[in-house]
Structure 1
């Protein structure tokens, strides 16, 4: 972790945030755990200012090993988190899913996470992941550079809509646009599968208002807060002030996400910038805990219940 904030001091600030807002803990729907060699390639991409970073300096704050990172989330009082993993080419998704099974088994507070890619056999291995108990899927349209409305994926979206399993989807055009990012492609998917529990990552950065409109239209669409309102993102893609009342009104369908560990600032910063929006304790409790706990059917504090 960068030397500007030591773990005990940051954990104390995170716990104080929870205390003053009456939170029993945090549910973070957007954290990254993946095979170590894959994660280190991701970090190397950020270090090299790869094209998808928008050419922005992006120092990774939390570079500990897997066990230390998970322990740190627990120190922060995170009740449940995810292993957001994603393929960038065919033939990779099923292997990542197999790794995720083992990670979920040895990490009981992780919501078993899977992913997919438009390729031969995708419906089969997604069905197998669902049957194995996957709680959430990740779809990264920017990195994967695929069209979510690809006919090959239509049975997958239908299967996930029927199963009621959320799909955290990087579908906005930040920090750099992809061939199939923006509200149009996922809008086509939602038109065919209106009950799909699509979680729009990063509040849909940069097309915040367009994705707010999708959430207003489709009652199962949710948004996660990943990187939104942080000083880093506000310099790059400020959230429009005129849209704040719409975000406040959607407080029952906004979920805490952080992008831990791949963030260029401290974890507590994400929490404190949500607090400074001034939407009140009820909104913060819903976003940082209650909405995620309800979506994933979490049991008593300290446990992750079976999929409802």
Structure 2
């Protein structure tokens, strides 16, 4: 299973604090790809999916991000099969608020009773008594935000949730939610080539929130032959994915990348990114190129 990574290199990227009492290594794992085509149904190779999750933890990954909508529940079941009973330092984050009529079809549903139902199902499928981090997957425009976040706060008060996060929000929406209940994290689309949420990232830094960038490996058209980053890749003996992750780890101490994969080999490639130390010149070259 291993290809030379025998220690816990995920820890080389440093740590950050989630809420008051959870410390995690800054390279996590996103479980969305533990599913079938269109993020629907079971994966083509369930055994490999289990191996990926176990290998991630072996390599020091102690933050795993999933959601009821992945499958639905396919990733939850794989995580449970691979890791239950869970290690004390393992933090499992999940999300509710998107329903799945079919492959590649995602629709927000923020009715409080639905959010509660899906939280209960997450607990059951993951085999948890308490969800470390429950995130509102999307804000449902048909339901007042206060009602959606308020239901998550009620679940926290009942001991079913430890901390609450948001996904795909603006600074204004984040502040509105924080007026209802404490928020410890935000998960927005963010990568070296897509930085529309830079203001949300800076807000997270200023207020002690964790920013979880989804789709962290994207580099646009900047990774091919003749690209302005070709020299940087060669100098660091890095793949484009590794460079994308190394840039995120350098860019902000609030960032917690969660690259996902269904391959052990790709997982190990991603984790090696924590050993890449970008020089000031290389970091600026990547920043300016995108």
Residue in 1 that maps onto 2:102: none
- Give matches, 1:126-275, under 5 Å: 129=123, 132-141=129-138, 146-147=140-141, 150-159=145-154, 165-167=162-164, 169-171=166-168, 182-193=170-181, 195-203=182-190, 205-219=194-208, 221-228=209-216, 230=217, 232-233=218-219, 235=221, 251=253, 253-261=254-262, 267-269=268-270, 271-272=272-273, 275=276
Residue in 1 that maps onto 2:96: 116
CA-to-aligned-CA distance 1:229-256 (integer Å, 9 cap, x gap): x4x33548x9xxxxxx9986952x3334
Residue in 1 that maps onto 2:241: none
Structure 2: how far apart are the matches of 1:157 and 1:43? 25
Say which structure is richer in strand: 2
1:121 deviates by 1.6
**Aligned in 2, Cα 1:18/1:152: closer, same or farther, shift over 3 Å?**
closer
TM-score of the superposed pair, with normalisation by structure 2 = 0.53
Q: Does the CA contact (< 8 Å) of 1:33 and 1:82 recur in 2?
A: no
Q: Does the CA contact (< 8 Å) of 1:212 and 1:246 recur in 2?
A: no
1:185 deviates by 3.2
Say which SS state the counterpart of residue 233 (structure 1) adopts.
Answer: coil
Structure 1: how far apart are the matches of 2:29 and 2:54? 16
Say which SS state the counterpart of residue 66 (structure 2) adopts.
Answer: coil
Q: Which runs of 5+ in 1 are unaligned?
A: 1-6, 46-59, 172-180, 239-244, 280-308
Q: Does the CA contact (< 8 Å) of 2:189 and 2:215 recur in 1?
A: yes
TM-score of the superposed pair, with normalisation by structure 1 = 0.50
Structure 1: how far apart are the matches of 2:116 and 2:11? 45
Structure 1: how far apart are the matches of 2:27 and 2:137? 18
1:215 deviates by 0.9
**Aligned in 2, Cα 1:146/1:208: closer, same or farther, shift over 3 Å?**
same
**Aligned in 2, Cα 1:266/1:161: closer, same or farther, shift over 3 Å?**
same
Q: What RMSD in Å do the two structures reach over aligned CA positions?
A: 5.2
Q: Which runs of 5+ in 2 are unaligned?
A: 16-23, 98-109, 223-228, 230-246, 281-290
Say which SS state the counterpart of residue 8 (structure 1) adopts.
Answer: coil
Q: Does the CA contact (< 8 Å) of 1:29 and 1:255 recur in 2?
A: yes
